[in-house]
Amino acid sequence: MDYLKNYSYIFLTILFTVYGQLILKWQMSNVQGLPENIVEKFIFLLRVCLNPWIISTFMAAFLAAISWMTALTKLQLSQAYPFLSLAFVLVFILSGLLFNETITVTKVLGLLFVVVGIILGSRG
């Protein structure tokens, strides 16, 4: 039972990380570009940072850090760290589904290497 509890902290870290990346992509895809004028840049960045969705990604990053710190009190770094690569896998799949980003055979093969690396890296 402790095994599941310990790994749940890693999966919370992954969940918060993936959430943050997907929401950032969603919100920033509405942006036309960064203004040239320094004052306009500042106003633009302030407006972006005050967006409730962007604020939620800051909170998700904070919660991911807390979850990760908790995981590291329970597991060895070399045991826990490979699992963070699952965030790459989830972001890849969800970016294809949600944002119609290109999924190629080469990218899928790369992800398979990541998954095999997770399996090998988490053993022993």
> Domains of the chain: which residue ranges?
2-122
Q: According to the model, what pLDDT value does residue 81 have?
A: 86
pTM above 0.75, yes or no: yes
Q: How confident is the model at residue 124 (pLDDT cuts 50, 70, 90)?
A: low
CA 93 to mean position of chain CA atoms: 12
Query: Which residue in 24, 122, 118 sits closest to 75, CA to CA?
Result: 122
- Structure tokens belonging to residue 74: 């329970």
Which of 29-43, 67-81, 82-96 is predicted least confidently?
29-43
Question: What number of CA atoms fall less than 13 Å from residue 20's CA on the CB side?
Answer: 18
Q: According to the model, what pLDDT value does residue 117 have?
A: 81
Q: Which residue has the tokens 């969940």?
A: 15
Query: Which residue in 4, 3, 17, 7 sits closest to 85, CA to CA?
Result: 17
Instruction: Convert the pLDDT of each residue in 5-56 to its tens digit.
Output: 889 999 999 999 999 999 999 999 988 888 888 999 899 989 999 999 999 9
